Amino acid sequence: MDTLANLAMGFGIALTPYTLMLAVIGCFVGTIIGALPGLGPSNGVALLIPISFSMGLTAIPALVLLTSVYYGAMYGGRISSILLNIPGDEPAMMTTLDGYPMAKQGFASDALVISGFASFVGAFLATVGLMFLSPMLAQVAFKFGPAEYFALYMLAFCTLGGIGSNNQAKAALAAAIGLGISMIGLDKTTGMPRFTFGEMHLMDGVDFLVAIVGLFAVAEVFHFIETHGKDSAIGVKLGKITVNWAKLWSTRYAMLRGSGIGFVAGILPGAGASLGSFLAYMTEKSSAKDKSTFGKGNPNGVAAPEAGNNAAAGGALIPMLTLGVPGSGTTAVLLALLLTLNITPGPLLFTERPEVVWSLIASLLIANIMLLVMNVPLVKVFVKILSVPSWVLLPGVTMIAFVGIYSLTGSSFDMMLMVAFGVMGWLFRKLDIPTVPVILGILLGNAMEDNMRRAMVLSNGDWTYLFSSPIAIGLWIAAVVGFVAPMFLRGVLKKPPQPSTDGGTTD
C-alpha cells in the first residue's frame, strides 16, 4: 500500500511538537476568522500569508499553519450563521437557513454540535478522498502538455465565471482584467518590460499578495463603512453545550450525502464550497419526506450544508495540488501561498516533493481532529470572541493587512497599490463584478500565456494545435458548457431566502 506508506511518512513529519503547535494555533485562529462576519477563509488566509512569510517559516510549517487556518475557517463560519443569522463566510450561508431557526427555538447547542460533527465528517471524508484521488489525478496530469494546460485554464475561468456570478460578461471582464494586470512586468521569454511605463516598482510585476489582500481585506473596510456595519449582537441564548446523541445520529445520512455532494462540487473547477453547501442542502430538502420542516429548524438542514462545504474545501485542494489550477477564491489564495513558498503545484509535486504533499495531508487529518475538539466542547470560547465590537475589529484587520504587506515588501508603493486594489474591490462589489476571477487572472496569467506560447513553439505557430488532443477538446467543451449552461440554469439554482431575524438581533 503506497498510500499508507506515504501517509506514514507524512505523519512522521507532521507529528513533531513544533508543527503540532502550529496546527493548534492555525485551527484556533482559523475558527475565529471563520466565525467573525466579514472575514472568511479567503481573506483570512490572505491576511496571514505575508505575515507567516515574514516570520521566516519554511515551506512545511507555513503550509501546516495556513491549511489549518483554512479548515478552521470552514468550521468557524457556521458559528455566526447559527447564533447571529449572519454567515461568517459565504459557504456558511446555507447553514443560516435551518441553523438560526433551530437556535431561536432554543436548540442552539444542538445546532452547534450537529454542525460541528457534520463539518468533521465532511472534512475527514474529503481528506481521505484527497489522499486516494490526487495521486491518480496526478498520473493523468502527466499527460498534459501546454495545449491541455491552456484549455484547463480556460475551463477554470469559464466555470468560475459561469457558476460564481450573475452576469457572464462581468465575470469574463473580471478575469480579463486580472490577466491584463498579470502582464505587467518583464516578459519572461524576451526579457522586455511590458506596461511598466518606466516605473521601477512595476518591473517585477504586481505582487499577487498585494492584490489579494487589497481586493479581499481592504475592500471589506470600505464596504463596512458604507453599510455602516452594525455591531453584531448575539440574539439567541446559548446554554450548556451538551451532545444530543440521538439527534446527532439521526442526521448521519444527511452528513454522508452532503459530504459526497460537496466533495464532487469541490473537485470541479470554479464551483467550490459555496456550491457544495448549496447543492447538499437542496438535495437534502428535495429528498426529504417532509419538505416543509426545512427552513424551520430541521437538523438535517444544518448537517447537510456543513458537511457539504467542508467536504468541498477538501475536494477543492485536489485540482489545486495536482494541476495547479484552483477552483475557488480560497484555493486561489492557497495557490498564492504555494507560489510564495516556491512550491509549484502540479503532477511533479507528487513525485519530486512527496514530503510536502503527504505532510500536508497528514496535517489536514490532525487539524480535523483538533477542530472537532475545539468546535464542539470548546465552542463557547469562540462565541465569546464573536462579541468583539466591530469598531475594534475592523481597524485591527486593516492594520494587520498593512503590516503584512509592509513587512513583506517594505515599500510604500505596494501599500498604496493595496489600497487602490481595495477601492477596486469595493467598486466591483458595487457593480456586481466578481473579484475572484481577477485574483485567478493575476495568479495564472503568466502561466497561461507561457503555455500558449510554448504550444505555438511546438506547433510552429499553428493555432489548431490548441484543439489537437482528445483531452484538450474535452476541456474546451467543458469550458464552453460551464460558461453557457448557468445562464439557463439560473432560474433553477435560485437560492432560498434567508430566515428573517425578527427582532432576534438588535440592530
Partner 1 sequence: MIRADRIFGVVMVILALGYILSAMSIQTSFLSDPVGPRVFPYMVAGVVLICSLVMILRPDPEVDWPVGGMLLQMALALAVLFGYAMLIRPLGFVIPTVIAAGILSWQINPRPVPAALAGLGLGIGLFVLFKFILGLGLQGLPRALMG
Could you tell me which stretch among 47-55, 61-69, 355-363, 489-497 binds partner 1 (CB under 8 A)? 47-55
Other Cβ atoms within 10 Å of 168 Cβ, number: 15
Position among 51, 288, 373, 385 found at the interface with partner 1 (CB under 8 A): 51
CB 184 within 8 A of CB 417: no
Q: How far apart are CA 348 and CA 322, in angstroms?
A: 8
Indicate the residue among 231 and 352 with the shorter CB distance to partner 1: 231
Position among 47, 112, 218, 268 found at the interface with partner 1 (CB under 8 A): 218
Segment holding 185, helix H or strand E: strand 185-186
In this structure, what DSSP letter does residue 90 have?
Answer: G
Amino acid sitting at position 476:
W
Q: How far apart are CA 166 and CA 132, in angstroms?
A: 35
**Total residues contacting partner 1 (rule CB under 8 A)?**
67
CB of residue 231 to partner 1, shortest distance in Å: 7
DSSP bridge partners of 186 = 193
Q: What is the CA radius of gyration of the chain?
A: 22
Q: Does 222 bind partner 1 (CB under 8 A)?
A: yes
Scan for cell 479548515, then name that residue.
71
Please give the full DSSP string across 424-455, using - where no structure is assigned.
HHHHHHHTT--SHHHHHHHHHHHHHHHHHHHH
Q: Does 176 bind partner 1 (CB under 8 A)?
A: yes
Position among 7, 13, 20, 180 found at the interface with partner 1 (CB under 8 A): 180
- Positive or negative torsion for Cα 244, 69, 138, 332: positive
Q: How far apart are CA 237 and CA 235, in angstroms?
A: 7
Write each residue from 103 to 142 as x if it is in contact with partner 1 (CB under 8 A), else as -, in one continuous string: ----------------------------------------
CB of residue 1 to partner 1, shortest distance in Å: 40
The residues, any chain, with a CB within 8 Å of residue 311's CB and separated by 6 or more, are 122, 123, 125, 126, 258, 259, 260, 261, 262, 263, 266, 276
Indicate the residue among 250 and 468 with the shorter CB distance to partner 1: 468
User: What separation in angstroms does the CA of 426 have from each of 174, 202, 463?
Assistant: 13, 23, 38
Query: Terminal CA-to-CA distance of the chain, rounded, Å?
Result: 57
Segment holding 194, helix H or strand E: strand 193-194
Position among 7, 452, 471, 481 found at the interface with partner 1 (CB under 8 A): 452
Q: How far apart are CA 19 and CA 100, in angstroms?
A: 36
Query: Which 392-451 residues touch partner 1, going by CB under 8 A?
Result: 392, 394-396, 398-400, 402-403, 406-407, 412, 415-416, 418-419, 422-423, 430-432, 448-449
Could you tell me which stretch among 1-9, 179-187, 259-267, 346-354 binds partner 1 (CB under 8 A)? 179-187
Amino acid sitting at position 145:
G
CB of residue 88 to partner 1, shortest distance in Å: 19
Position among 192, 200, 246, 492 found at the interface with partner 1 (CB under 8 A): 192
Q: Does 254 bind partner 1 (CB under 8 A)?
A: no
Indicate the residue among 239 and 491 with the shorter CB distance to partner 1: 491
CB of residue 442 to partner 1, shortest distance in Å: 12
Please give the full DSSP string across 383-408, using - where no structure is assigned.
HHHTTS-HHHHHHHHHHHHHHHHHHH
Query: Which 230-249 residues touch partner 1, going by CB under 8 A?
Result: 231
CB 252 within 8 A of CB 425: no
Scan for cell 499553428, then name that residue.
462
CB of residue 381 to partner 1, shortest distance in Å: 19
Indicate the residue among 128 and 403 with the shorter CB distance to partner 1: 403
CB of residue 471 to partner 1, shortest distance in Å: 22
Q: Does 145 bind partner 1 (CB under 8 A)?
A: no
Scan for cell 479567503, then name that residue.
42
CB of residue 107 to partner 1, shortest distance in Å: 33
Q: Does 177 bind partner 1 (CB under 8 A)?
A: yes
CB of residue 17 to partner 1, shortest distance in Å: 18
Q: Does 480 bind partner 1 (CB under 8 A)?
A: no
Position among 3, 105, 189, 387 found at the interface with partner 1 (CB under 8 A): 189
Q: Does 344 bind partner 1 (CB under 8 A)?
A: no
Best CA proximity match to 214, nearest among 185, 183, 181: 181
Binding site for partner 1 (CB under 8 A): 51, 54-56, 166-167, 169-170, 172-173, 175-177, 179-180, 183, 187, 189-195, 197, 218, 221-222, 224-226, 228-229, 231, 389-392, 394-396, 398-400, 402-403, 406-407, 412, 415-416, 418-419, 422-423, 430-432, 448-449, 452-454, 456-457, 460-461
